[in-house]
């Protein structure tokens, strides 16, 4: 049986570029040239994706 890991998604329209996601999961998230978060490696090591979603002050991160 294959276990499907959740994949993080960033809504750039909502993102305010605070960097919390990068601080919590630097292998997965980064900020682009506009200061907005993006998923640089959806399969990067991050044991606390749920915490990242809950910590985003703009509600810009979700898991699919």
Q: Give the fold, CATH level 3, of 8-63.
A: Alpha-Beta Plaits (3.30.70)
Do strands 61-63 and 8-10 pair parallel, antiparallel, or not at all (unpaired)? antiparallel
Counts of helices then strands in the chain (DSSP H, E)? 2, 4
**Could you report the per-residue pLDDT of 21-61, keeping only the tens digit for each?**
999 999 999 999 999 999 999 999 999 999 999 999 999 99
**Residue 35 per-residue DSSP state:** S
Instruction: Locate the domains of the chain by residue range.
Output: 8-63
Q: Is 59 exposed, middle or buried (0-12, 13-18, 19+ CB in 10 A)?
A: exposed
> Tokens standing for 34?
């506009």
pLDDT of residue 12: 96
- Please name the residues in contact with 51: beta carbons below 8 A apart, sequence gap of 6 or more: 24
User: When comparing pLDDT for 5 and 20, which is higher?
Assistant: 20
Per-residue pLDDT band at 5 (split at 50, 70, 90): confident
């Amino acid at each position: 049986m294959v276990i499907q890991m959740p994949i993080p998604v960033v809504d750039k329209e909502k993102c305010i570029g605070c960097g919390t996601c990068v601080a919590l999961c630097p292998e997965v998230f980064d900020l682009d040239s506009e200061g907005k978060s993006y998923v640089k490696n959806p399969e990067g090591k991050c044991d606390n994706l749920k915490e990242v979603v809950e910590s985003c002050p703009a509600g810009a991160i979700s898991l699919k």
